[in-house]
Structures are given as structure tokens and as C-alpha cells.
Structure 1
Amino acid sequence: MSSKKQAIFISSLVILWYSSNIGVILLNKFLLSNYGFRFPIFLTMCHMAACAILSYISIVFLKVVPLQTLKSKSQFVKIATLSVVFCGSVVGGNISLRYLAVSFNQAVGATTPFFTALFAYLATLKREAWVTYAALVPVVTGVVIASGGEPSFHFFGFVMCISATAARAFKSVLQGILLSSEGEKLNSMNLLLYMSPIAILVLLPAALIMEPNVVDDTLSLGREHKFMWLLLLVNSVMAYSANLSNFLVTKHTSALTLQVLTSLTLFFLVLCVLHNYFPNY
């Protein structure tokens, strides 16, 4: 593939990733806060179910990519770890949306490159240029300032958000290893296929314990709001698109690049948040 085609391909992936993530975030917020669907763990499980089903259909029936088999126990452990970390990041993020505004939630998420650089060094002992680390300082500083002036600041929501951010960074590093390691390389769709069922197994008992009335309440909401099931379906499909494009962008760039790209968008959200606190700024 020529460099021009490669650039167009990666740009298309980034656009798909951005649009999918924005859609998922807004629909998550709408379902969790405005629609009365207060079950973030079950919502994440729906996302993973969609990822498993759509990946299976794409690989087995549509033959989009060939089916790959796991080669070692070590590879399975890494995928299982990725699944657990992913569950933690998404559930934590969804829980934080119940307490924090979307703009502030995403502003905190702008610190993801900082955690990514840290975990990448710890996992691979690979150091980035000092300029890269220096560029992360203003982002972290901006989030600290925003946190101090956030009118709807909620400590538990903030803790969940920063925990989800750190987990998201670790996930990016781990998935980068799984997507690029010569001995254990998987393509993005196969990685999602193997990761999703494990995530469902992790989320199911958590949902039953922490959200015991989820089935009855979901059915009740479905009867009360005629578009409930459609919104849940669209949200789950968009989550599949977001996860798949996330893997693809990581594979064709790097974990840190992915998170820096995220921060380019979140930078403007931070400015908007700061503007709300300092109108004359």
C-alpha cells in the first residue's frame, strides 16, 4: 500500500473511531442519565454481546477476515487480562457519567496519554522522546485546574473516571502488544471475537450482584418507552464499531498515538470547561 493510500486509510479509521466514540458516549449518557436506564454494567455487557455476535458473523459467515486460533496459554491469559481491564475501564467510565458532565468526563479522559506513556514504559521499557512527555504536562495541568472549578464535581464520579482512564491506557498498551507481537499476533476482529465472551463472563455476575433488578427494570422501561430497545441496539452496534476501530487504529499507529489523537479532540473540551469557569478567560 502506497504512503498516500495508507494515510487515507488511517485517516478513515480515525474518523470512524471518533464518530463511533462520540455516538457511544452521548447515547450512554442519554440512556444512563436521561432515559432512566441506570445499569452501566449491564449496558457494557450488551456492548460486549454485540461485539461477540457481530465479530462472529463477520468472520465465520461473511469471511471478512480468516478465523485465527489461539496459539498458547500465554496468549489466552493476555486476552483474558485485556478483557478484564476493558470491563473495568468501560464500567468505570459509564458509572462516572452518572455523576459527571460529559464534557468534564472527557476532559479527565485527556490524561489518558500520560498513563499510556507510563504503562508503555513499564511494560516494554520503551522511552519516548522528552518532548512527548513534556507535551503531556499541560494536559494534566488543565485537568487539575478544571477539576478544581467544576461546578458539578463529584468525588466518587471523579475517582471512577480517573480509574477508567488509567485502565483505558493499560488496555491500549496491552492490545498493542497483542496486535503486533510476532509470535502471538491477532487481527483486530479476531481479538475482539475472543475478548468479548470473556468480558461477558466477567460482567454477568457483576451485573447480577450489583444491579439485581436489571432484568425487570429493563423490561419495564422497554414497555414504557417504545424506542428503548432500538436505542439499546444502536448503542451496542456503535460500541462494536468503536471497539473495532480502536483496535485498528492501535494496530496501524501505536497505543500512545491513539491516546494523543483522543486528546486533540478533548483539548477543545477542556477549553470549553475552563471557559465555563472563567468567563473572562
Structure 2
Amino acid sequence: MKGEVLGAIIKAYTFVVIWMAVSISVILFNKWLLAYSGFPFPIALTMWHMSFCSAVGFICIRVLGLVKSHNMSTKDYMQRVMPIGVLYAASLWLSNSAYLYLSVSFIQMTKSLMPGLVYASGILLGTEQYQCSSAANMVLIAFGVVVCALGEANLVIKGLVQQLVALVFEAARLTLVQILMNARGLAMNPLQSLYYVSPACLLCLCVPFVLVEARPFFTEPPVMYPSVFIANALAAFALNLAVFLLIGKTSALTMNIAGVIKDWMLIFFSYAVFHAPVTRLNLFGYAFCCTGVGIYNWQKLQLLKKKALQKQREELGGKGGPGDAEAQRLLPNGASNGVGSPHGAKSEASKA
């Protein structure tokens, strides 16, 4: 028994380490490619990623048959997938553009806003219910990001705006995935996601590419090394699989907690690799953000525990049955009726 538990723990930590290593590598790779290698074309880079992912998805599903498709009609595809593709394209375009102006460390700090943005998006689109405790926690995280911005030595407003708008689009995308796909029994694994979402994203990226990057891209073509771009696309694909394995073998909550550790590592990697300045005010503000994210994750965990105990109580006899006393005993003080406890919050949305 102890051996099985130890093996499960080792396996979980292995997936966490793999995901962290691949994620850090991809972020630093993209930053180098866009800001230092002479290829300042974030839309073109994102289009290359989506082209590669579309090809991989098509080969795996239509040629090799490794995964079944959902066999969507054109109408379903336009109604369910295309809106997600539009938001995904905007999010990727703007977030990659931010690398031209902001340091990796500061970009990671701004990503602390994701839980709050997903929560706000869920309220607007009807998948979440407003709770004062959750809203107050999101304000705490937002305050930490403001402190980070005030302490940023090389803050560029254009890059900050691009990054914040990218986060808004990403939050809306995650909420739409929940509404248009998961709620209708069409949850996708990574290969299905590549097959369906990547072509939609690629198509949507063509518009900003023509309007923004096409002229400078073709007037003065950048030096392109095929091996570098193939390696970059493979790294992005590996990250997609690593995320799937991490959530599948552990949980989204584990990914959130590991993400905080990964972001701290990225801050120091950015300082070591790109010599991006990090001030004490930066670190203080980000520590403030991490506190808010930690409280948010703790609230989510408590909510999940409460729901599991309520389900167990219903299965063992319902209200007043023999399982009721056991469930009541396991619940923390005050959690049984939601008074004086964060269990009353109903937020389950964040996948940041």
C-alpha cells in the first residue's frame, strides 16, 4: 500500500516537473525568437504554430486514426468552435506581441490576474455567481499587479495594454469553452483541440497579419532558419501534451499551484538569461498576488471537498440519513450551512 502511494506521488511530481520544464523552455524560446533573433513578427510566429498544430491534428485524426473526431457539421463548427478560435487568435497574437516590449518576469506577474478575469467573465456570461469573498480576493490580486507595474523598471504602456487585453480574451475563451463545448458533452483532448481549434485560429489570424505584418514581412523578409522554427513548433506541441498529461494524471488545482512555483522560477530565469531587471517592489507586488492566488486555490479546494461530502451524504442515505452524521463530522466548523466559511463560494471556472 505504501509503495503504491509512493509511486503515485513520484508519478505526479514527475508530470509536474516535465510540465514546468517544457513551459519555461517554450516561454523563453518565444521571447528570444521575437525580441532577440531578428524575427519581430508575433502574428507570423503564431500562424506558424497554428499551421503546424493543424497539420499534426489532421494527421493524427484523419490519417492515423489515433483519436476519433466529433464529426461536427459546418453549422456546429461555426457556432461552437469559431468563436473560440477568434478569441484564441486574439489572445495569442497580443500575448506574443507583448514579448516585444515587456520582460518575461513582468508578463508572468500580470498572469496572476487570470483567476479574477475568468471569474468576472463567468459572471458576465452566466456560468458563475457573484460572491463578495471571491470578488474581494480578486481585488487583492489586482492590487498586487498594480504594485508590480509601479515597480517595473522598463514598463512600456503599449506592451502592458496588449498583455492585459490578451488576458481578457483568454479568460473569455476559457469561459466559452465551458459554455459551447464542455457543457454539451464535447470536451476535447489535445489532438482533437489541435484538429478543430487550430484551423479556426489560423484563419482568424490571417486578417491581422494582412493588416499589420504582411507589408514589412514581405518587404524586408527576416532571416529564417527552418530548424529553429521547427524546434519552436515542436516545443509548443510538447507543451500542449504536457498540460494534458498533468491535468489528466493530477488535477487542474495541482497545475495552478505548480504554476505559481513555475512563475517564480521564470522571474529568475528571465533575470539570468535576458538580464531583465527585477526590483524589490516587483517582488513584493508579486508576493501579494501569490497570496491572493493561494487563497483562491484554497477556496476552490474547500468547495470541492464540501461538494464531495455532500454527494457522499446523499449516496449514504440523504438528508438525515446515516451518512449525514459522518459528513457533518468531516466538515470544518460552520461549513455545513455555509456561514462564516468560504465554502459558500460557487466559483469553479478558473483554468489559469
Q: Same fold (TM over 0.5)?
A: yes
- Deviation per residue, 1:43-95 (Å, 9 max, x gap): 00011011111112222334332222115734532211111111111111111
Q: Which residue does the alignment assign to 1:108?
A: 110
Amino acid at match of 1:152: N
- Deviation per residue, 1:21-58 (Å, 9 max, x gap): 32221111101111110100000001101111111222
Q: Which residue does the alignment assign to 1:208?
A: 210
Percentage identity across paired residues of the two chains: 26
User: Does the 8 A contact of 2:91 with 2:170 survive in 1?
Assistant: yes
Q: Which residue does the alignment assign to 2:89?
A: 87
Amino acid at match of 1:231: V
Call closer, same or farther: CA 1:75–1:203 in 2, change over 3 Å. Answer: closer
Superposition deviation, residue 257 in structure 1: 7.8
Quick one: distance in 2 between partners of 1:164 and 1:82? 14
Call closer, same or farther: CA 1:111–1:75 in 2, change over 3 Å. Answer: same
Quick one: distance in 2 between partners of 1:136 and 1:270? 22
User: Does the 8 A contact of 2:151 with 2:282 survive in 1?
Assistant: no
Q: Which runs of 5+ in 1 are unaligned?
A: 223-227
Q: TM-score, normalised by structure 1?
A: 0.79
SS at match of 2:198: helix
Q: Which residue does the alignment assign to 1:180?
A: 182
Q: Which moved more, 1:266-275 or 1:126-135?
A: 266-275
User: Does the 8 A contact of 2:48 with 2:233 survive in 1?
Assistant: yes
Q: Which moved more, 1:100-109 or 1:6-15?
A: 6-15
Q: TM-score, normalised by structure 2?
A: 0.65
Amino acid at match of 2:67: V
Q: Which residue does the alignment assign to 1:225?
A: none
The one of 236, 239, 249 equivalent to 1:242 is 239
- Deviation per residue, 1:162-217 (Å, 9 max, x gap): 11111122222223445522444444321221111111111123213211232464
The one of 169, 172, 178 equivalent to 2:171 is 169
Quick one: distance in 1 between partners of 2:103 and 2:173? 24
Larger radius of gyration: 2
Call closer, same or farther: CA 1:217–1:280 in 2, change over 3 Å. Answer: closer
Q: Which residue does the alignment assign to 2:122?
A: 120
Q: Which moved more, 1:204-213 or 1:266-275?
A: 266-275
Call closer, same or farther: CA 1:57–1:105 in 2, change over 3 Å. Answer: same
Quick one: distance in 2 between partners of 1:69 and 1:204? 25
Quick one: distance in 2 between partners of 1:94 and 1:241? 18
- Deviation per residue, 1:225-264 (Å, 9 max, x gap): xxx322211111222233455567678856x886665345
User: Does the 8 A contact of 2:81 with 2:197 survive in 1?
Assistant: yes
Quick one: distance in 1 between partners of 2:202 and 2:138? 34
Amino acid at match of 2:238: S
The one of 41, 50, 53 equivalent to 1:51 is 53
User: Does the 8 A contact of 2:149 with 2:155 survive in 1?
Assistant: yes
Quick one: distance in 2 between partners of 1:243 and 1:39? 22
Call closer, same or farther: CA 1:33–1:147 in 2, change over 3 Å. Answer: same
Quick one: distance in 1 between partners of 2:192 and 2:8? 22
User: Does the 8 A contact of 1:179 with 1:188 survive in 2?
Assistant: no
Quick one: distance in 1 between partners of 2:183 and 2:76? 12
Q: Which structure 2 residues correspond to residues 152-167 of structure 1 after superposition, within 5 A?
A: 152-167=154-169
- Aligned-CA RMSD value: 3.6
The one of 220, 226, 230 equivalent to 1:229 is 226
Quick one: distance in 2 between partners of 1:100 and 1:111? 16
Q: Which runs of 5+ in 2 are unaligned?
A: 285-352
Amino acid at match of 1:149: G
Q: Which structure 2 residues correspond to residues 16-31 of structure 1 after superposition, within 5 A?
A: 16-31=18-33
Call closer, same or farther: CA 1:166–1:16 in 2, change over 3 Å. Answer: farther
Quick one: distance in 1 between partners of 2:283 and 2:37? 35
User: Does the 8 A contact of 2:153 with 2:279 survive in 1?
Assistant: no
Quick one: distance in 2 between partners of 1:244 and 1:124? 30
